[in-house]
Structure formats: structure tokens, C-alpha cells
């Protein structure tokens, strides 16, 4: 009897190593680090600026300036990484972006240092170095979410991509909770160092991520197809649609940039003593958002409508904001409790990004999906500017309320004007 010949068939690939599963895993962990870094500055801004010798009376204005620089860097990076994603592929963005923001985080840990391995950073003016590194970190952070969502959306089925992207969002917002806890317990320098190390540790996983089949098909079938920013600039219709998505998501960053990040200023005018700690508020806000991100994604799948799910959560965000300014005025404990509710309701962020990905063709999808979340984030610049303008003329509570009314009104009109993209076949191109 002839011995049985060994099978030459390749062993089955474990499910966790399938292209789709690995893409979801890498995008989710990448977004975790992205959110950790993005939120960390809001957690440590007051302590870090005080440690660097900045007088308390300059802390609010300087903190807003540094946050604005980070967000402006995200707009610059969003356009640049998005164009790279449409020209060179979605996976390529995942490598370059993480190297840039991880390096910026590591150096940020040494701003103003007089000893240790990063003491060379002490030779630069501390606030200037802080500003430059926040801008560079913003540029790097800009590519992570958009590239990951675009890749996962194009690898998923039409009706299943909402669930996959909701999972990315749920894992990602845990990074904010971790940022709040680490920022409070480890100190601001160690918190930045941890963020940089976590980012670099992700690079190994990214080497196994495969490129989107839709993008490869576009390259083969239409190598001369106009891609990236140019088709958007040539089409007022596409630009308007993109800006409507941005406006629809702007209330999320009103709650973060004003109600959470500027809580010490608001609490002062409420007569609250002691005021709530920003790091604690961030952890509370995102503890609600972890559940809310999954809930909004599942709701959009169940209702088969992104717009309806966003409308319901946007309304909840408005109610939560009112509760923070009314019930929350009783004490720091009540402010934090209302912050959890607002965090849950404002977690329609990932549904907004899913909508951005579904509304645009393959040749511009990475540019739009990468640019939109960063434009939503940078909406904090005009929002905080409006707050500061109003706060000069009235108390901070009234200024916050009026700023919120403007933000929610614009978002409601924008959402009403957008088409419903649920279940759309993504294999199409813009002219």
C-alpha cells in the first residue's frame, strides 16, 4: 500500500487573520491611539501649562491656541493623507500617519525638560515647542480614522459595513477613557510618552494589512481617472455635500471643546467649588460614548438609515448639553453625571464618518473620509472663538448656551439636506 501523500493545500487562514478582520482590528487599535492622543491634550493642558510656568490668567487663551493649532494641523493632514490614500492606496496612509504623530508625542514629553533622555528639548522655548509639536501631531493624527474607515468600508458587504465601522468607533473611544485616567494618574509627560510608545507598537500589525480591492480595480481599469482633491474642487455639488456632513457632525465637538475642555471656566461662573477636573470629565464623557458609538451604529443598521439615527442622537446631544448647564450647575458630581449622558448621545460620530464614506465615489472616497472628521474636529476653532467672543460680554454659561444654539441649528439644517446613503454599492466613481 502506498503511503498517503501529504496534502499540498495551504492550511486554512484563521478568521482573525482574514483581510477584513485584520483591517478592522488594525483600524480599531489605530483609532484607539488616535483618540488617546487627540483627547490627551484636553486632559493635561491645565497641568502642563502650569508646570511650564504659564500664569493662570493666560492658561485659557493659550490652551485654546494650542488646541486650535493641533486642529488646524489635522485639516492640513486630512487633505494631504486623504489625497495620498486616493493616489497611492488606503493602506499606505496607515504607516506614514502613525510614525509622524507617535514621534511628535514622544518629543512632546520632553518639552521644557531639564533632565532625562529628552532634556535636549529644554533648549527650545517651551510654549513654542509645545505649539509646533501639537501642530505636527495633528497632521499625523489626521490620516488614521479616514484611511481605516475607507479601507474597512470597501472590504465589507453593503449591509454589514455599518457594524464593522461601529466596532472601530467603540474600540477607538476607549482611548479617550484611557487618556483621561492616564493623564490624571501618570502626569502629563508620562502620558505623552505612553501615547508615542503605543503608536509605534502598532506598526508591526500594519504590515499584514492588504489594500482595498476597489482601489486596485480603479488603478487597473482607470489609471488616468482624476482622483483625490481635484474632482472635489471642480464640483461645487460635491464640495457642498462634504461641508453638509461636516456641519451635521459639528455639535459633537461643541460638547468636547466647550462643555468638557472649558469646564473650569464654565464652573467658575456657575459658582461651583471645587470645579470638575477635565481629565475626570473626559473619562466620564467617553465612558458614555463607548456605549453610544455601538448604539448609534446598531440603530442605523436596524433602522436602515444613517440620517434617522443621526437625528435621534443629535437631539439627545442637545438635551444633554442643556442638562449639563442646568442640572450640572449643582455640583461637580452632577456636572460629571450629565457629562456621561451627553457623551452617550453625542456618539453619532462614527455614523457620520460612515455616511461620508458612503456618499462619495472610489476615486475621492479616501480624501473625503479623511478630511471630513478633521474638518469636524477643527469646527472647534470657530466654536471656541464664538464662545470667547461672547464670554467677554456675558457670563460663560450664557455664552455656552448661545454658542450651542448656533451649532445645533446649523447641524439640523445640514442633516435635513443630505441624502440617505444606507446600503449603497460603493463601487462607483465621481466624474
Cell of residue 212, nine digits: 482595498
The answer to whether 180 and 67 are in contact (CB under 8 A) is no
| Per-residue pLDDT of the chain in tens (431 residues, 90 and over written 9) | 455 544 444 444 444 456 677 778 888 888 888 888 887 887 888 888 888 888 877 877 888 888 888 888 988 988 888 888 887 777 777 778 888 888 999 999 999 888 888 888 888 888 999 999 999 999 988 888 888 888 888 787 777 777 888 888 878 878 877 887 888 888 899 999 999 998 888 877 766 666 666 666 665 655 555 777 778 888 899 999 999 999 999 999 899 889 998 898 898 889 888 888 877 887 788 888 888 888 998 899 899 999 999 999 999 999 999 999 999 999 999 999 999 999 999 989 889 988 998 999 888 888 888 889 888 988 888 998 999 999 988 999 999 999 999 999 999 999 999 999 988 888 787 87
Residue 89 Ramachandran class (φ > 0 left, ψ -120 to 50 alpha, else beta): left
Q: How far apart are CA 74 and CA 372, in angstroms?
A: 10
Cell of residue 104, nine digits: 511628535
Task: Report the Cα–Cα distance between both ends of the chain, in Å, rounded.
Answer: 66
How would CATH label the architecture of 15-210+228-417?
Up-down Bundle (1.20)
- pTM of the predicted model as reported, rounded to 2 decimal places: 0.77
| Per-residue pLDDT, 346 | 92
Amino acid at each position: 500500500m502506498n503511503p498517503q501523500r501529504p496534502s499540498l493545500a495551504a492550511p486554512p487562514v484563521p478568521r482573525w487573520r482574514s483581510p477584513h478582520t485584520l483591517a478592522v482590528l488594525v483600524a480599531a487599535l489605530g483609532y484607539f491611539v488616535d483618540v488617546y492622543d487627540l483627547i490627551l491634550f484636553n486632559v493635561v493642558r491645565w497641568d502642563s501649562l502650569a508646570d511650564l510656568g504659564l500664569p493662570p490668567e493666560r492658561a485659557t487663551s493659550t490652551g485654546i491656541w494650542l488646541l486650535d493649532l493641533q486642529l488646524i494641523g489635522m485639516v492640513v493632514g486630512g487633505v494631504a493623507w486623504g489625497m495620498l490614500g486616493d493616489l497611492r492606496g488606503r493602506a499606505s496612509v496607515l504607516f506614514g500617519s502613525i510614525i509622524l504623530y507617535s514621534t511628535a508625542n514622544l518629543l512632546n514629553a520632553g518639552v521644557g525638560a531639564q533632565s532625562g533622555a529628552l532634556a535636549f528639548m529644554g533648549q527650545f522655548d517651551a510654549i513654542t515647542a509645545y505649539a509646533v509639536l501639537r501642530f505636527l501631531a495633528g497632521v499625523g493624527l489626521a490620516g488614521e480614522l479616514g484611511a481605516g474607515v475607507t479601507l474597512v468600508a470597501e472590504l465589507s458587504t453593503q449591509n454589514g459595513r455599518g457594524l464593522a465601522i461601529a466596532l472601530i468607533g467603540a474600540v477607538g473611544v476607549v482611548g479617550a477613557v484611557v487618556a483621561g485616567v492616564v493623564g490624571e494618574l501618570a502626569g502629563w509627560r508620562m502620558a505623552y510618552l505612553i501615547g508615542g510608545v503605543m503608536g509605534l507598537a502598532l506598526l508591526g500589525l500594519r504590515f499584514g494589512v492588504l489594500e482595498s480591492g476597489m482601489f486596485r480595480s480603479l488603478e487597473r481599469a482607470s489609471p488616468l481617472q482624476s482622483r483625490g482633491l481635484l474632482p472635489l474642487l471642480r464640483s461645487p455639488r460635491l464640495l457642498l455635500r462634504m461641508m453638509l456632513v461636516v456641519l451635521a457632525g459639528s455639535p459633537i465637538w461643541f460638547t468636547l471643546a466647550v462643555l468638557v475642555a472649558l469646564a473650569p471656566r464654565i464652573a467658575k461662573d456657575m459658582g461651583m467649588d471645587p470645579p470638575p477636573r477635565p481629565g475626570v470629565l473626559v473619562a466620564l464623557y467617553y465612558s458614555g460614548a463607548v456605549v453610544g458609538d455601538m448604539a448609534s451604529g446598531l440603530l442605523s443598521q436596524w433602522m436602515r438609515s444613517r440620517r434617522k439615527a443621526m437625528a435621534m442622537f443629535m437631539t439627545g446631544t442637545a438635551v444633554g448639553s442643556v442638562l449639563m448647564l442646568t442640572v450640572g450647575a449643582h455640583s461637580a458630581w452632577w456636572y460629571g453625571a450629565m457629562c456621561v449622558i451627553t457623551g452617550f448621545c453625542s456618539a453619532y460620530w462614527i455614523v457620520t464618518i460612515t455616511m461620508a464614506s458612503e456618499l462619495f465615489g472610489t476615486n475621492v472616497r479616501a480624501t473625503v473620509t479623511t478630511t471630513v472628521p478633521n474638518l469636524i474636529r477643527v469646527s472647534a476653532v470657530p466654536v471656541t472663538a464664538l464662545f470667547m467672543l461672547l464670554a467677554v460680554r456675558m457670563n460663560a454659561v450664557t455664552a455656552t448656551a448661545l454658542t450651542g444654539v448656533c451649532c445645533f441649528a446649523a447641524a439640523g439644517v445640514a442633516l435635513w439636506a443630505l441624502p440617505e446613503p444606507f446600503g449603497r454599492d460603493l463601487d462607483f466613481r465621481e466624474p
